[in-house]
Amino acid sequence: MIGLVVVSHSQKAAEGICELAAEMGGDAPLEAAGGDNGEIGTSADRIGEAIAAADDGDGVVVLVDLGSAVMNAELAIEMTDANARIADAPILEGALNAAVEATNDKSTLESVLEKAEDAREYRKR
């Protein structure tokens, strides 16, 4: 199954998004990689560990918030053996979409990535 990693500057935000996504796609491996040693920030090492934990060999889609979250996720992906991709998507909506698609038996890394990125189109009014 495709794994998901949620990277936020805030540990609470990352965990909260995982909590919501788990409601939608309960079986998908979901890992929160929030904060940097307990403070606001992001850490490539921490993201790398989350990718390893979420990967069962099929690949991982990484949802990110802003700025250094993108850079540290890129760096973590360069340093891992897992097949991981960053979704160009809003972190919360993308994670929910991805979690639903990941529980589909026929889902692939590409299909989960695509569903996550579809979340860019969500309008609020």
Residue 13 makes CB contacts below 8 A (sequence gap 6+) with 34, 65
Is 73 among the residues known to form the active site?
A: no
58 binds another protein (CB under 8 A): no
Q: Are 78 and 84 in contact (CB under 8 A)?
A: no
Return the structure tokens found at 7: 């990277």
Of positions 16, 24, 36, 85, contacts another protein by CB under 8 A: 36
Q: Would you say 36 or 93 has its CB closer to another protein?
A: 36
Query: Which one of 1, 3, 6, 9 is the catalytic residue?
Result: 9
Spatial CA neighbour of 115 closest among 7, 12, 28: 28
Of positions 8, 11, 72, 97, contacts another protein by CB under 8 A: 72
Residues annotated as catalytic (active site), given as ranges: 9
